[in-house]
Structure 1
Amino acid sequence: MAIAKAERLMNLALCLLGTGRPLTKRELRSSIEAYLEAGSEDSFNRMFERDKDDLRELGLVIETVENFEGEVGYHARRDRNRLPDVSLDAEEAAALQLAAKVWQQARLAGAASGALQKLRAAGMPDSEVGAGSYDALEPRIPAREAAFEPLMLACRDRRPVVFAYRKSNSAKAERRQVEPWILECWRGHWYLAGWDRDRRAERVFRLSRITGPVRSRVGEYTAEVPDQVRVRETAERWAGEGATTESALIQLRQGCGYPLRARATRMRELGDGWEELEIPYGHGLDAWLAEFGPDVVVLEPAELRADIIDRLRAVAKG
């Protein structure tokens, strides 16, 4: 949600909750700066109706009072919008705190920490909100890509999106029209699964390869969303997971390529800051290895080495 809209919704909620009587649209417009800047009366009415619907969807109970001083009044009574006492056991409180820590590297970090603050504001002591013996655990899901938040919201709201996407073997990005289904993290990278309208097929996109902004589009989905979307299986095929009995021999710079070390069946030090690894060789391994750039040198098989060289040359020409 854009910051300006979130601020406008918060101001509207505070106005509706903070008075002892209903407020008319005229009073609300004069009290909220964003409504004063809305321009025409029609623009304000459309904005107000959308905001009112959004607040109701978020759970705020807004009552409509007919013929209030000759107009329609709106009121959010505190007694109807008060949460019951919150009580969590130690395991539940720990789970909430760990969930909040997961998003420390994302733009959701503010919302996650805000949720814990709401628990404290509801009267829950710090000893219960804190994870206690779980404090040593530091789970994190990296979500630094700018595309993460708009795609997450698009998946939630079932909104088509448009973005520019550069494939691993291409130097230029191409425009994609996608109906997003789900986001999933695998080996430290985020992937989006959805329906590619131009190719009329299911596709998986790595968020780090999305260039430029993600733009939402109006309209309903044209393809049915499947009950199960297997994002990881597709990403594994790209990376050569579930490989055959074949192996690839590579040199890897020390301190780099930890996912490759995790897959290695054999490893030995070569000196001068390099190590030799033997890893399973399957479809898609060339695209994955190419992403490590100068930190990886493929020794064999020869066709894998040639494929990676071709990929890197294509990128260099771009």
Structure 2
Amino acid sequence: MSGNRNSEVEVHWDDASGRLLNLVIALLNQRMPRSLSWIAGHVDGYGDGDSADTVRKRFSRDRQVLEDLGIRIVESEIHDDDNHPETGFRVERSLSFLPEISFTPGEWDAVTAASRWALTDSQARQVRSAFSKLAAAGQRESAGGVSPVVGEVPDTLDLGGEDVEAINRALDRGLALEFRYWPTPLAQPQDRRMDPWALAARDGKLFLTGFDLDREGQRTFRLSRLTDVAVLQQFITHDRPAGSPRSLVARGLAAAATETTARVLFTTDGAHELRALAAPGTPDNPDNRAEPQLTDPRGEVLTLGPVDRDRLVRLAAAYAPDALVLDPPEVVDAVITLLDHAATVYGGEQP
């Protein structure tokens, strides 16, 4: 297995991503719904000599991934050449595509944050170039947002095309997996083995869930924390529970207590992305906004969550000092650790 997780990797187009794109293009360009047999014969990535059952499972999983990304594939009854009824599929344009892009102040804060953090020099050039083009197009003026001090720290994605294909193959054929897993970007990697059950998106992130063969229980892994994925030559011994991929991932995250609730002090009117994580106001509140939980001379205090703990830590670090986590203590310590690391690696004052 590979050594340094944070080393640069070659950027390439993997087969799974290509298959998803081919499927969307094919169904968009058809005047009528198309059957699974048509998809297997006309969409690259489905007609590789696999059985009809394998094609069905692959399409079902791809359909769920696309739906998590906002692209809706709907079904209706059609008839084959012999006038036998069968199910046809098409992309529903009205439910899948957004209008012309514009940014609210909070969204512009998020774009600015992303532009200010890059793990390598090559990434920094590309990200800041894209940000400059958006600003030149007038998005900064229309948004009117204020940039956070530190950009949100992203995960490093080491998964290659072979890794993604290994996950898909294991899910299709009911085989066990082994891989290397980083609990946090700065932790030492762990070798893990599992019977995979489902792959699904939650809060904009992809997760793999299944039965951990060494921990003897369900575990859920963020895809951006995996690398060196390999299919084992053994069938899974723990059957997948009932439920959709998304529900299985949600169940795994809840069981692992990866979500948390925190009280955050907002010292300015910014940090809109963090504010959006607060619980909505009561029906008596005409703006349906979250109400401050207590009075503080420095600003307003809101309770955020339940939200993914890692996401909360990164966002709080991104918007400091406009947003300060008050509790729980473990989240406060995690934010300080992340800011300390950023200051050490990239320079600047210690928090």
Give the TM-score range, shorter chain: 0.3 to 0.5
Q: Give the TM-score taking structure 2 as reference length.
A: 0.42
Q: Give the TM-score taking structure 1 as reference length.
A: 0.46
Larger Rg: 1
Which one has more relative contact order, counting CA pairs under 8 Å at least 6 apart? 2
